[in-house]
DNA sequence: CAGTATCCCTCCTGATACTG
DNA sequence: CAGTATCAGGAGGGATACTG
């Protein structure tokens, strides 16, 4: 039946392909935008710096979110084999390209939310 | 102590005022962007239409998300006192102003995520 | 310093059934 | 038609302690 096929097709589209949903799942959430935002203005940050700069985050959450962002190729992790350990995080080009979006969201939010 | 005050001030800023975090909390998530996106292209939709159009959503979730969006003044709910009930949802001007953001997110997502 | 490991608990969500 | 009521399950997230 034609109408049924149409519905199925539509549903599939929305469930698996909606790019906005994918974005929200992968970049949204409580911590990822903050991390990206900090790296946009600070260029390079160490784990501890991020930890101190983000209020309320736990080390567990921070390392988890950083891993996620690394997998998405949005940030680069550079580890130095020294004691004590030193690890640097910075944005990739792809990560930097989020600046425009985050800026627009920030402006809209400032004007429309509180 | 000056440095301590600085830290406290910084933390407060990030925790309570970060507009991007506020945006993600209020407009992000699994369903709200989809609802807004549908209303951007369809102008007016009834509860049942939204329910059918959004794959996997439950009535409970749908009504909850619609209430949230209404509170944010992003959508308008118009109820007709007829039997069977008829309720229409449409975007407010504020809601429509999200089109630009969602479009940019969609484009970025299409190019950078999968 | 830069993380893991562990426990614990809340809240989000889905499923189902019901109603004005 | 447009919701609400209720319950259960699981993932997400916090607190704390530990380690290379």
User: Using H for helix, E for strand and C for coil, what is the string for chain B?
Assistant: CHHHHHHHHHHHHHHHHCHHHHHHHHHCCCCHHHHHHHHHHHCEEEHHHHHHHCCCCCHHHHHHHHHHHHHCCCEEEEEECCCCCEEEEEECHHHHCCHHHHHHHHHHHHHHCC
Domains of chain B from N-terminus onward: 13-112 (1.10.10.10)
- Half-sphere exposure (Cβ direction) of B55: Cα atoms closer than 13 Å: 13
Distance CA(A60)–CA(A100), nearest Å, equals 29
| Chain A residue whose CA is closest to B37 | A20
Which phi and psi (to 5°) does residue A28 adopt?
Answer: -75, -160
**Quick check: B30 and A10 CB within 8 A?**
no
Locus of tokens 């709200």: B32
**pLDDT tens, chain A, 114 aa long:** 333 333 333 433 454 568 999 999 999 999 999 999 999 999 999 999 999 999 999 999 999 999 999 999 999 999 999 999 999 999 999 999 999 999 999 999 999 998
As given in the structure block, the two tokens for residue A65 are 């979110």
Interchain CB contact of A37 with B (< 8 Å) = yes
Interchain CB contact of A44 with B (< 8 Å) = no
Closest by CA position to B15, among listed A54, A4, A99: A54
**From the CA of B28, how many Å to the C1' of C12?**
14
pTM: 0.86
Distance CA(B52)–CA(B46), nearest Å, equals 10
Per-residue model confidence as pLDDT tens digits over B51-106: 999 999 999 999 999 999 999 999 999 999 999 999 999 999 999 999 999 999 99
Is A31 buried (19+), middle (13-18) or exposed (0-12) by CB count in 10 A? buried
């Amino acid at each position: 039946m034609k109408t049924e096929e149409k519905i199925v097709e539509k549903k599939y589209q929305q469930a698996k392909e909606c790019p906005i949903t994918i974005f929200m799942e992968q970049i949204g959430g409580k911590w990822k935008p903050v991390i990206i935002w900090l790296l946009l203005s600070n260029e390079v940050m160490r784990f501890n710096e991020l930890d101190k700069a983000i209020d309320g985050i736990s080390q567990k959450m921070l390392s988890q979110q950083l891993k996620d962002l690394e997998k998405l190729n949005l940030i680069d992790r550079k580890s130095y084999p020294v004691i004590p350990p030193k690890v640097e995080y910075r944005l990739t080009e792809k990560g930097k390209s989020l600046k425009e979006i985050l800026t627009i969201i920030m402006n809209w939010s400032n004007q429309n939310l509180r």
